[in-house]
């Protein structure tokens, strides 16, 4: 199996999976993690009998902090018992750097393939819960390295991933890219206490350290000033991009948004200074 780690920048996580039955969910998981600001490398290697899964894991972890392994029937079919034991050994000997996921299989099936692998704490993943699983991985990556006690736990009482998407409109020159970290330094809110759709008047591209100012910053309208409380998030989607206008979505931690006032008295018409 050829290694593709050469010339790859260091990532937060790499995702190892089988093309035969988990390619779609792996790509969805990668997209969700990227939209949360996690640097992802997808292990784009087709698993087949004789392929060295252990070698792939070793190569991936030289470029990444954590390895997400999506275990499925196709994954087990392309993996020898020696390789499976190697996964467990690496997990236990290297500060729990491997995060196992089960795709369309259960504990009994995993146990039949590898009792020791079945003992590792894992989460089930499919197309319906991929955002919640991504949130669990996000929490692990953002915690102190090696502290992964929450792995496999609930992300919230209602199953929410702890993030909220905010639609942003920006009048001016700006080049949004999915996965880019931005800070909305100041913004206008056209619908008073509704904070899910905003017009940004000042944006900072955190990756490049560049500030952008809207061409319509000085116009009068309903405004909520947050110059001292900027919103920081990661671009998760792009709706429209023209030379003088950008419409995109940023993903913000829900707890941060809840800190902002929803009192209508805090909203007033005027110029943004």
Residue with tokens 């496999």: 152
Residue with tokens 């330094």: 185
d(CA 159, CA 216): 39
Question: DSSP assignment of 43-109, as one string?
Answer: E-----TT--HHHHHHHHHHHEEEEEEEE-HHHHHT--HHHHHHHHHHHHHTTS-EEEEESS--HHH
d(CA 53, CA 72): 13
| Selected catalytic residue, list 83, 199, 202, 253 | 83
d(CA 28, CA 207): 23
d(CA 18, CA 218): 53
What are the backbone dihedrals phi and psi of residue 74, each rounded to the nearest 5 degrees, phi first? -65, -35
Question: DSSP assignment of 144-208, as one string?
Answer: STT--TTTTS-S-TT---SEEEEEEEEES-----TT-EEEEEEEE-TTTT--SEEEEEEEEETTT
- Which residues fall within 8 angstroms of residue 85, CB to CB, at 6 or more apart? 114, 116
Instruction: State how far Cα 235 lies from the chain centre.
Output: 10
For residue 77, indicate whether it is catalytic. Answer: no
Tokens of 92: 């236990």
Catalytic annotation, residues? 83
């Amino acid at each position: 199996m050829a290694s593709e780690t050469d010339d790859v920048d260091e990532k937060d996580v790499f995702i190892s999976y089988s093309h035969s039955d988990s390619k779609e969910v792996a790509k969805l998981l990668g997209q969700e993690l990227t939209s949360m600001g996690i640097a992802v490398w997808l292990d784009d290697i087709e698993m087949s009998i004789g392929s060295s899964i252990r070698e792939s894991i070793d190569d991936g972890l030289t470029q990444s902090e954590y390895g997400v392994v999506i275990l499925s029937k196709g994954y087990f079919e392309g993996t020898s018992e020696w390789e499976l034991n190697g996964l467990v050994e690496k997990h236990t000997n290297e500060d729990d750097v491997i995060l196992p996921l089960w795709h369309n299989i259960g504990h009994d099936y995993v146990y039949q393939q590898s009792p020791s692998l079945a003992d590792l704490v894992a989460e089930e993943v499919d197309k319906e819960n991929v955002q919640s699983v991504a949130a669990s991985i996000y929490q692990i990556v953002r915690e102190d390295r090696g502290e992964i006690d929450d792995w496999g736990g609930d992300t919230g009482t209602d199953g929410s991933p702890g993030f909220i998407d905010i639609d942003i409109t920006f009048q001016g020159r700006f080049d949004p890219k999915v996965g880019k970290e931005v800070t909305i330094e100041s913004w206008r809110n056209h619908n008073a206490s509704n904070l899910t759709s905003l017009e940004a008047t000042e944006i900072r591209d955190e990756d490049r350290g560049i500030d952008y100012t809207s061409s319509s910053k000085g116009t009068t309208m309903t405004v909520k000033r947050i110059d001292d409380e900027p919103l920081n998030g990661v671009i998760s989607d792009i709706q429209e991009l023209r030379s003088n206008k950008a419409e995109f979505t940023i993903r913000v931690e829900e707890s941060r948004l809840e800190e902002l006032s929803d009192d209508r008295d805090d909203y007033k018409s005027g110029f943004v200074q």
